[in-house]
Amino acid sequence: MDRIYLDHNATTPVDPEVVDAMLPYLAARFGNASSVHGFGRDAKVALEQGREQIAAIINCEPAELYFTSGGTESDNIAVLGSAYQCKGKKSHLVVGATEHHAVLEPAEHLAHREGFKVDLLPVDGDGFSSTDDLRRLVSDQTVLVSVMHANNETGTVQDVAALAEVTREKGVLFHTDAVQSTGKIKVDVKQLGVDLLSLTGHKIYGPKGTGALFIRKGLKIAPLFYGGSHEKKRRPGTENIAGVVGLAKTLEIAERCREADFTRLQELADYFTDKVMTNIPDVHLNGPRRNRIPQTVNLSFAGIEGESIVLSLDIEGIACSAGSACTSGATEPSHVLVAMGKPKVRSQGAIRFSMGRSTTREQLDHVISKLGPVVTRLRQLSPIYGKQA
């Protein structure tokens, strides 16, 4: 069997339709959108058409959408820009305990270098945060609350609308990292009630290096970069026209396929989870069965390290992950699973299998046939299996 890719939460192949849409802007239609001549005007039209298309999909005004290089930059602008805008007036942030490092590390920077206080919003055993906990943490000093929409490791989908309602009552800004949810489940900024929202293209068959940040109309955010009037000076730098065109086409396709993809991937995820847990002993599902992006299956295999499973499966031509791609090679257990209260040994034995449009039941059967012997062999070598769970 050909190599099997089960790491779609890390990145995805670019859809051929997206490639076709981008190609003209990588060749003949190469103009700079800031130029006033015909080449520039052509690029400017493509830029604004892309903005209008994406804005319509997430239900915001085109003027509220700013293009970036991806989710990490969008998250940094949202967190740091909000804090710097209010520096000297307010000095407190609340971020989810299971956030991506693109949110956690800017928050840590503000705490260590800028004198801000940062509180982590706790989660339960399935990764959900409560409005009661948020109410206890928010104060008159709080600048921003940032809670991700869908978790990249477990797929847990937060009730962002309920959490954002708490911040609206308190007059506090709310940001959500929707990198893993946009294009996979419905994302509507008005229904969610958020002030800022980050998204990217490469998780949903779009090009890497493309993303956007929704900033609610009237909201002031301090820029992180200087040097041009692009994107209303909130993200200066020559716009990636081919990337914007590709991102718009990506979201158009994702919206068209979203419901069918959701149903099919949920069926595959349920099938895979049940088969693995039936055929291999001492396996635990991390995160909920429902209220998650369905293609994400996070399983812990007692007594062995996840990295060993990943490397063993890679030899068999199967790609998966021991957690977030952004922390690959880390020796510490997943901060997401630790925040969910999972024991360290269970967290270290966690594997994320993330499926996509190319995933088939036959592929999953093949993965299971290889996974069982791999787990058995590694457990035979393990000094802790049978002693800890």
Q: What pLDDT is attached to residue 252?
A: 98
Q: Select from 222, 151, 157 the least CA-distant residue to 192.
A: 157
In terms of pTM, does the model score above 0.85? yes
Q: Select from 107, 103, 104 the least CA-distant residue to 73.
A: 103
Average confidence score pLDDT of the chain: 95
pLDDT in tens, 260-292: 999 999 999 999 999 999 999 999 999 999 999
Q: Select from 150, 147, 201 the least CA-distant residue to 175.
A: 147
d(CA 97, CA 156): 13
d(CA 303, CA 301): 7
Kind plus residue range of the DSSP H or E element containing 103: helix 101-113
pLDDT in tens, 296-354: 999 999 999 999 999 999 999 999 999 655 555 556 789 999 999 999 888 999 999 99
Residue 159 burial (CB count, 10 A) = 16
Domains of the chain: residue spans and CATH: 4-11+258-381 (3.90.1150.10), 16-253 (3.40.640.10)
**Mean pLDDT score, 146-174:** 97
Tokens linked to 37: 């001549």
d(CA 60, CA 295): 27
Q: What pLDDT is attached to residue 234?
A: 87
For residues 93 and 233, which has the higher predicted lDDT (pLDDT)?
93
Annotated active-site residue in 60, 257, 320, 326:
326
d(CA 176, CA 187): 11
Per the CB < 8 A criterion, the answer to whether 223 and 69 are in contact is: no
Q: What pLDDT is attached to residue 389?
A: 44
- Burial class of residue 290 in the structure, from the number of CB atoms within 10 Å of its CB (0-12 exposed, 13-18 middle, 19+ buried): exposed
**Mean pLDDT score, 143-170:** 97
pLDDT in tens, 89-116: 999 999 999 999 999 999 999 999 999 9
Q: What pLDDT is attached to residue 330?
A: 53
Active site residue 60: no
User: What is the Cα 385 distance to its own chain's centre?
Assistant: 33
> What is the side-by-side strand order in the sheet with 65-68?
65-68, 211-215, 196-200, 173-177, 142-146, 92-96, 117-121
Kind plus residue range of the DSSP H or E element containing 278: helix 241-279
Q: What pLDDT is attached to residue 57?
A: 98
pLDDT in tens, 3-62: 999 999 999 999 999 999 999 999 999 999 999 999 999 999 999 999 999 999 999 999
Q: Which phi and psi angles does 301 have, rounded to 5°?
A: -110, 110
First to last CA, the chain: 34
**Mean pLDDT score, 106-132:** 98
